[in-house]
Amino acid sequence: MDGRVSGFARGVRLRRSGGQAPADACPELCYTVNMKRRTRRAGATETFSISVDPETKRALRALANQDFQGNLSALVADLAEEARRRMAAGAYLQRRRIPVPTPAEADLVETEIAHEIAAWKQRRRRRKLA
């Protein structure tokens, strides 16, 4: 790899939590890490069709098999949650008149978050052992 760490590559899912933090509680762009999967109500779904190339289909199917017990619909719902999070972050930046970060700046933030999560997990493991 070239040193960059993506959200899926590091196995960490960043997503919005169900609650909303007050605007003054988070003066900078904040991320909430939620490791619990959302439960979806089976009756509240719609069917639609998409067209992708065979390589993309294989990648989506492999990820669905790995993370969602083969449920492609659950993968699409997870990707849509990520899209909603990105749109909310974009709206926040626009409201606060904060310039959109460059791809390099965004990668740096993701890397910092990954390091903080890893350090947090390591601290928790040490406490349990002591």
pLDDT given for residue 45 in this prediction: 84
Given a contact cutoff of 8 angstroms between Cβ atoms, the answer to whether 105 and 1 are in contact is: no
DSSP 33: B
Longest Cα–Cα distance in the chain: 53
d(CA 105, CA 27) in angstroms, rounded, equals 18
- Per-residue pLDDT tens for 50-109? 999 999 999 999 999 999 999 999 999 999 999 999 999 999 999 999 998 999 999 999
Average pLDDT over every residue of 10-28? 42
pLDDT given for residue 44 in this prediction: 78
Other C-beta atoms within 10 Å of 110: how many?
19
Other C-beta atoms within 10 Å of 124: how many?
9
Kindly tell me if the per-residue pLDDT of 30 is higher than 90: no
Range ranked top by mean pLDDT from 15-29, 36-50, 114-128: 114-128
Q: Where are the domains of the chain?
A: 23-36+50-129
Report the predicted TM-score, pTM, of the whole model to 2 decimal places: 0.53
Mean of the per-residue pLDDT values for the chain?
77
